[in-house]
A and B are shown apart, each in its own frame.
Chain A
Amino acid sequence: MIAQQLVNGLMLGAIYVMVAVSFTLFFGCLNFLNFSVPALFMLGGFLTWALVQMGLPWVLAVVGALAAAALASLVVERLTWRIQRGGPPLIPLVSSLGFLILFENLVLVRWGSDARSIPSPFGDANIRIGEVVVGIPQLACLVVAIGLVFGLQFLLARSKLGRGIRSVAESPETAAILGVEVNKVVPRLFLLAGLFCALAGVMFSLSYQLVSPFMGDQVALKGLAAMVLGGMGNVWGAVIGGLIIGVVEVFAISGLSADHVNVVVYGLLLAVLIIRPTGLFGDAALGQQKL
């Protein structure tokens, strides 16, 4: 059953990859540890459920949920980065935690705190490869996640927006002097990163068929751990970190128990950071500055 666990782990890891990439965009480009990411993840997953519940077909529900999360991400940009940039980097963090509490509790007020089950549009479709059973939705998530990361990499490397983002990452002031419209590039970055983690939330809810107002907290922490485990500075660190954490988590559940997952996953992160203080593949110059 090792092959089966490995496959399950990679598919769970795909979701961590998406969240880790979202954190990487915020942190790598803006030096902003955005604590509203768990809430955007939750909005993607939870609003999909809510809209399906209101009778929308699930494709429209997903689009609606993503749009709402993207809008939320833009609001976060307005009230954190835009007005607090240049100050101590911990400040936008506090505001983003404020948004985490805000969005989670808005959902809580409207729909209550219970976990809800969401029907899968794919039924329990799966394919078998030898002994290994692969769920279609999970497989789709893995493929979409890896595809999107490649797309993002291409976007950052080649497009005008990508060049703008990279120049803002270097220095917002210099970028502005050189004619980059920082106040247009940064909202687009928030849009992009917000969509990444909201989509991860949609994938999570369709794969595991469970949503709740606080579904983002644990997943996002593991996504953050994935980013740091892989090391910052390139998207591939986030990808490898996410897949490692997914696989380790699944093996910890089957080998020990679900209660031991956090000890194993975070123990691994701690061990890596003690031995390699910049993560596995981290650029030594990044992520070192004061938070």
Chain B
Amino acid sequence: MSGYWAGILVILAINVIAAYSAWLPLAAGQVNLGTAGFMAVGAYAGAVLSGDYAWPLPYAIAAGAAASGALALLVGSAVLRARGLYLALATLAVNEVVRGILLNWDAVGGASGYPVIAHLELPPIALAALGVFLLAAWLGASRFGMTLHAIEQDETMTGLFGVHVPRTQLAAFAIGGALAGLAGALYAHHFSYIEAQYFTVLLSVTIVLSVVLGGVQTVWGPLVGAAFFTLLPELFRGASNWRYVLFAAAVIGIMALRPQGIVTRAALMRLTGRKPA
């Protein structure tokens, strides 16, 4: 496999993990526009632990995920009282605050970024993405996943059935945060260099919307969405300057044709020959 394709697959794997991190809260009807901020926390925490503190790589990456998961738990318990657009903007604010702090923190390089010594190649990153997919598939099929879907459909009703709605949403938000941290830590250890400027709100928005494009109803949606957002711009690489124009036109076209997302429950049932419920 050429280095070019290995590079693309690494980005694909990281984007897949990030997509599932955004999908979990989204499945419960919450839009987290802070995903890139949580990725940044995981990236910096993992890189500092593996670099300055010489932790073994797997521990450092796990700690990066744990750090952003903990932050998500903390932030979530404060902001989940806000709903809808207010919640989305609160998470967006978290993204910008995290990025701003990292940008001004000289111990981690500030605006000039932070070099990462330890290096990860494609296989472990791909393995991690596979693991996250399996975890998401398991969570999605579990009681927890059904509860998330029920909350997304009707919060009040789900509460009446005895589900502790805020706690379930917080759990989805925190697990999402931890997965974002994992994606960030993997990113840091592959590209050997991180800078706060990379983890923008626009990255968060793109991650969330790639999931919507793929479809939030099933566990396959985020995978398809991440693949679409990663591979399509590469496909248009020959068009040089025009490639993002073509890509944007494709996004608009697809959403016009399949407004529920590419992968829907009904489409999956048709594919597998089962009758739609």
Contacts and interface: CB of A to CB of B under 8 A. Distances in A.
Given A109-B241, A290-B84, A94 B251 contact: yes
Interface string A229-267: 000100000000000000000000000000111110111
B88 interface: yes
A84 interface: yes
Interface in B45-97: 78-79, 81-86, 88-90, 92-97
B8 interface: no
A277 B86 contact: yes
Interface residues of B, number: 48
A273 B93 contact: yes
B103 A88 contact: no
B89 A94 contact: no
Secondary structure at chain A's binding surface: helix, strand, loop or mixed?
helix
Interface stretch (A54-62, A183-191, A195-203, A217-225): A217-225
A87 B82 CA distance: 23
Interface string A96-115: 01111110011011000000
Contact of A98 (B88, B92, B251): B251
Interface stretch (B125-133, B184-192, B255-263): B255-263
B23 to A, nearest CB: 12
A278 B29 CA distance: 18
A105 B248 contact: yes
A159 interface: no
B97 A267 contact: yes
Contacts, number: 153
B38 to A, nearest CB: 14
Contacts of B107: none
Contacts of B90: 269-270, 273-274
Interface string B1-27: 000000000000000000000000000
Contacts of A277: 79, 81-83, 86
Given A277-B82, A291-B88, A260 B100 contact: yes
A273 B251 contact: no
B159 to A, nearest CB: 15
Nearest to A256: B104
B89 A224 contact: yes
Interface stretch (B136-144, B164-172, B200-208, B265-273): B200-208
A278 B90 CA distance: 11
Interface of A: 27, 33, 35, 79-80, 83-84, 87-88, 90-95, 97-102, 105-106, 108-109, 217, 221, 224-225, 228, 232, 259-263, 265-267, 269-270, 273-274, 277-279, 282, 287-291
17 contacts: A79-B256, A88-B260, A91-B261, A94-B212, A94-B251, A95-B256, A97-B209, A101-B247, A105-B245, A224-B89, A224-B92, A262-B97, A262-B103, A265-B96, A270-B97, A277-B83, A291-B31
Given A94-B209, A98-B252, A274-B82, 7 more contacts: A84-B259, A94-B255, A98-B249, A98-B255, A262-B100, A274-B78, A277-B83
3 closest pairs, A vs B, by CB? Answer: A263-B100, A102-B248, A98-B251
